[in-house]
Structure 1
């Protein structure tokens, strides 16, 4: 009898250790209180609020840690582009007696918070010391609570606030909104850094910025001279500090080795057409962006006869205050290595051909523009077979009227997938982003770019063009293996559009001029949008050697992707008896023990099983005694 009991006790012990090991694994996978959070950002100009975060794409859970230099309450949530009303805000703090308060709330107006009926944020830790109040919590990407805004791969406008004491009252001086790509896929800290890294700067030196609103300055520079093949694996902006707000974007274009290039610095798109040569983008930075490191298996090849030897550096300046006497030495810093990657990368520019056909009516709540790419001519123009394109990253670009962009892929007339999109585009945050998984484009596929604009604040037409007050509709796809195609963009038959709006036009210039004669109303705006979508598109394909060919096509319909399922609250409903007078659920201790948090986060069934296992083990031990 004692031997059987001993065997059963050993079995129970084994099960217990197995459960504890499983609990530890679950805890580490779910980004618990002691997990390292990979991403971080200051949320305010004075660096008082510091946010760390990480996420689990499979579980659709995101974890935050907010550190604020205050002894009062802190709050973190998500808001939209136009107003903070309706925003969600998770708030918490530590009372003078050491009690912790924590609550999932939302703004019913600009200044008033109200607790959500469903508590969808899970507290992982809340502490206060002589300097910081630190709150750590997790929440699902998409909960079933209508008061919780979704966290998506789009630009997310993070709302952060704090108080100087524990009185929960919003103060606009202590409330901040910052656009962040919360669901980043990779981060430079996760990638290998070659030991033999070499730095090379591509820059314009001591350039006197004109007193004009918009300037495109271009110059031609050599790439690093190497005796054997190397790979550029990283780039970052090199900005003069006091001029940072003047630099709108910086692009580096590869030049064909047969090109005859001018010297000096001049207007990229001015009287001398030589300064607009070279159209294959290889790297790019825009306002709000930071550095970008390519995935470990791709790089920009330099040093072989097939590689470009020169580039065109383009810097777009926006001197809206018309300041005189400002000199600039901005550019792009590239990092390269002799440790070769597996693939040579390229960049394919898609979208609406910017000038002269693109137009957006004034006073539009919503206006869609479309640019079509047909890849059937790629092999002929490349001069060699084109392998399937493997897309791993992208950069989106419109100007101030842009609200959303997406690139959609079609094969044999059927929509295959949305390659990339951002339904909350922010002009002030333009960064190269990686796809969660690589997308394959085969010869013959069609690629459609859709751009969504709003011009309620404008009473005159907006045309496509280089100025910030003009518009663009571009998506750059980063892919491998490299081919010679630099861009593939479309535009509609503007004569057809003019006729649909009741205007006479016999050529494209007359068609564009006719847009100024239209009385723009909500009805005529929708009519113009419909005509632009139904018109035949001219598709312009260009190679790195400036070879251009045209084809035509029609804009296919886009089938929207439905949102995924929401995750039910783990916190349950908040009842009146659960509330303290201040409107919070209170906890007697600060949650700082990782072991206690592990037990709290176990599923209920697992907790019961642990309890029953311990009870059984104790019973067996008592029987043996």
Structure 2
């Protein structure tokens, strides 16, 4: 039976818990996790998390599909790079002892065990198929080698390597085909609103397209909202990605085309920064919806909604999808964005509030710099 070692004296009581779990072969999930995402297209890494703003900590549950002779690291860095990264590392030595450590890489990608161990192991289990571990970390550990969590997008860096050894000191992570994923970790801790009884939904379906073999692509697709003779309010957005391709989508935005109700917008389905786009799309720049990969459905507060519809409202919209394709691979992919509406007129039109709310939700993506880059024509 495998044994587990957690060296930090500070958390010695965790060793007893972790050993017991490994011997019994059971993992009792310590809590409910509100958010989750797969980190890679092969689904070898599945990450769950929950945010506690009272203690300024994040609780994680990580499932890594690895064999007994493989080791792995999952952590954080600027732009998902394997260098100068902060990692949670697991490996097994030749005596089948499991090690879980707080580690970091230098500018050359060489791995070092951190002198200050800032992960608290809550539970864990290993079998022949996967390692499952629950752990906790503070937003800011006051450790220069740890990556602080903030309200922006967090770049998750991860790798899997072969081998069993006593210590992974000075292992070069850049040689292990490291990958990255982006998540919005510190989501606003907002109360869940109850939908009005007349709530209905429609789904914008982006056609199945071939994603260019480029790291970053902004894809545009023009379509129309359902006909609404009366004014409605948008109260929730929810995205859905083809299974196995979650790592390729960064975020989705819907822009309303500010034209008269009888004016036409040219159809377009292609790269947003490409030459030869039809003229007339510059009017499609008013954000009415957004969703980021790894996020739960974005439900707006009950006091506010975004107004759409009515006799003088154009139904034309432009869907923009930010594809993140670091592996530079060609992929066929469809995307769905469900929008929840109510004819019940809410007191506060969200024209101004939406900008504030979504700036918190999407962080840097709705800044003026981002808009000037992604909407340039």
Higher helix share: 1
Give yes or no for the alignment of 1:312 onto 2:312: no
Instruction: Name which structure has the greater RCO, CA cutoff 8 Å, separation 6+.
Output: 2
Decide whether aligned partners of structure 1 residues 294 and 335 sit closer, same or farther in structure 2, where only a CA change above 3 A counts.
same
**8 Å contact kept, 1:94–1:128:** no
Alignment partners' CA distance in 2, 1:90 and 1:34: 19
Decide whether aligned partners of structure 1 residues 191 and 158 sit closer, same or farther in structure 2, where only a CA change above 3 A counts.
farther
Secondary structure of 1:153's aligned partner = coil
Alignment partners' CA distance in 2, 1:103 and 1:206: 42
- Tell me what 1:233 maps to: 235
What does 1:38-437 align with in structure 2 at a 5 Å threshold?
38-70=34-66, 71=68, 72-81=70-79, 83-92=81-90, 100-108=98-106, 110=108, 112-164=110-162, 166-167=164-165, 169=168, 172-173=175-176, 175-185=178-188, 192=194, 197-202=199-204, 221-225=224-228, 230-236=232-238, 251-253=254-256, 255=258, 258-262=260-264, 265=267, 276-277=282-283, 279-284=285-290, 292-297=297-302, 298-302=304-308, 308-313=313-318, 332-338=337-343, 341-346=346-351, 391-394=356-359, 422=364
Alignment partners' CA distance in 2, 1:291 and 1:63: 16
Alignment partners' CA distance in 2, 1:272 and 1:174: 40
**8 Å contact kept, 2:227–2:315:** no
Match among 30, 33, 40 for residue 37 of structure 1: 33
The alpha-carbon deviation at position 68 of structure 1 amounts to 1.0
**8 Å contact kept, 2:257–2:318:** no
Decide whether aligned partners of structure 1 residues 273 and 37 sit closer, same or farther in structure 2, where only a CA change above 3 A counts.
closer
Decide whether aligned partners of structure 1 residues 88 and 224 sit closer, same or farther in structure 2, where only a CA change above 3 A counts.
same
**Cα RMSD for the two superposed structures:** 5.1
**8 Å contact kept, 1:254–1:281:** no
Alignment partners' CA distance in 2, 1:160 and 1:176: 6
- Tell me what 1:384 maps to: none
The alpha-carbon deviation at position 272 of structure 1 amounts to 7.8
The alpha-carbon deviation at position 154 of structure 1 amounts to 2.1
The alpha-carbon deviation at position 312 of structure 1 amounts to 3.4
Alignment partners' CA distance in 1, 2:32 and 2:249: 36
Alignment length, in residue pairs? 327
Secondary structure of 2:118's aligned partner = coil
Alignment partners' CA distance in 1, 2:332 and 2:159: 38
Decide whether aligned partners of structure 1 residues 145 and 264 sit closer, same or farther in structure 2, where only a CA change above 3 A counts.
closer
**8 Å contact kept, 1:155–1:182:** yes
**8 Å contact kept, 1:254–1:282:** no
Task: Return the TM-score normalized by structure 2.
Answer: 0.64
Decide whether aligned partners of structure 1 residues 143 and 192 sit closer, same or farther in structure 2, where only a CA change above 3 A counts.
same
Secondary structure of 1:393's aligned partner = helix
Alignment partners' CA distance in 1, 2:112 and 2:204: 52
The alpha-carbon deviation at position 48 of structure 1 amounts to 0.7
Higher strand share: 2
**8 Å contact kept, 1:125–1:135:** yes
Task: Return the TM-score normalized by structure 1.
Answer: 0.42
Choose 1 or 2 for highest CA Rg. Answer: 1
Structure 2 unaligned regions, length at least 5:
1-27, 212-216, 324-330
